[in-house]
């Protein structure tokens, strides 16, 4: 049986290398973030100027309120979007990705996956450029229901997005502000009211406060 070597009195045991592993992990994450920023700076420099001004992280977020009388009242939309390398190269467009949150007149809140597109070759300043956004509920592992599914078309302004939904909100929500039970509900034909919406640059916390204020 091997003899156990005891440390001399007064000498503390060598500390485990937990902090070394943590430091390496943090460093690798930092380098990965720097690499992604450099890639964006080379291939999509406009990502740092979305909304008409410079910001060090290449994404834009904002929110706004729109009244849709035929769908129950006020809806509040928040979006966060950034450049994306995903998507088909066959289409002459630039891809976007992100998340969105929709708050209904009843205070019900939907988390939505967001995608979008802009022109293929963009100037650094995107003010005045057209944009298309599509968003839908991410399906869960127990189902594939993507409702609500919405589309918005518009243009960039100064620290804002000016959009309309081509009737998307009134098509999927009922006059009392609740979501239709089916995408094509024979008892409730698709609405045709077009919602015009301006998203102002702002935070998710501002959106959440606005959503809470209209809960009934």
Question: What pLDDT tens digit does each residue of the chain (216 aa) get?
Answer: 555 555 555 555 555 555 577 777 766 675 566 656 656 665 688 999 999 999 899 999 999 999 999 999 999 999 999 998 765 454 557 899 999 999 999 999 999 999 999 998 899 999 999 999 999 997 766 667 888 999 999 999 999 999 999 999 999 999 999 998 876 665 556 678 999 999 999 999 999 999 999 875
Q: What is the pLDDT of residue 214?
A: 84
What is the pairing mode between strands 60-68 and 196-201?
Answer: antiparallel
Pairwise CA distance, residues 157 & 142, whole Å: 40
In a domain, 34, yes or no: no
Longest dimension (CA), the chain: 86
In a domain, 175, yes or no: yes
Range of the domain at 144: 47-213
State the pTM of this model.
0.80
User: How many domains are contained in the chain?
Assistant: 1
Please report, for the domain that includes residue 181, its CATH number: 2.40.160
């Amino acid at each position: 049986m091997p003899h156990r070597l005891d440390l001399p009195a007064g000498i503390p045991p060598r500390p485990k290398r937990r902090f070394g592993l943590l430091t390496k992990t943090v460093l690798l994450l930092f380098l990965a973030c720097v690499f992604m920023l450099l890639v964006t700076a080379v291939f999509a420099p406009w990502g740092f100027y979305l909304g008409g001004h410079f910001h060090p992280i290449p994404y834009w977020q904002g929110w706004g309120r729109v009244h849709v009388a035929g769908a129950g009242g006020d809806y509040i939309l928040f979006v966060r979007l950034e450049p994306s390398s995903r998507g088909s190269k066959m289409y002459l467009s630039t891809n976007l990705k992100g998340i969105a949150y929709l708050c209904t007149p009843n205070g019900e809140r939907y988390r939505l996956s967001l995608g979008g597109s802009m022109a293929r070759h963009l100037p650094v300043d995107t003010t005045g450029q057209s944009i298309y956004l599509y968003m839908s509920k991410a399906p869960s592992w127990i189902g594939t229901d993507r409702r609500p599914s919405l589309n918005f078309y518009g243009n960039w302004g100064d620290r804002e997005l000016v959009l309309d939904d081509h009737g998307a909100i009134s098509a999927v929500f009922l006059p009392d502000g609740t979501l239709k039970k089916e995408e094509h509900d024979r008892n409730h034909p698709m609405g045709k009211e077009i919602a015009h919406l301006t998203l102002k640059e702002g935070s998710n916390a501002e959106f959440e406060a606005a959503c809470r204020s209209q809960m009934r």
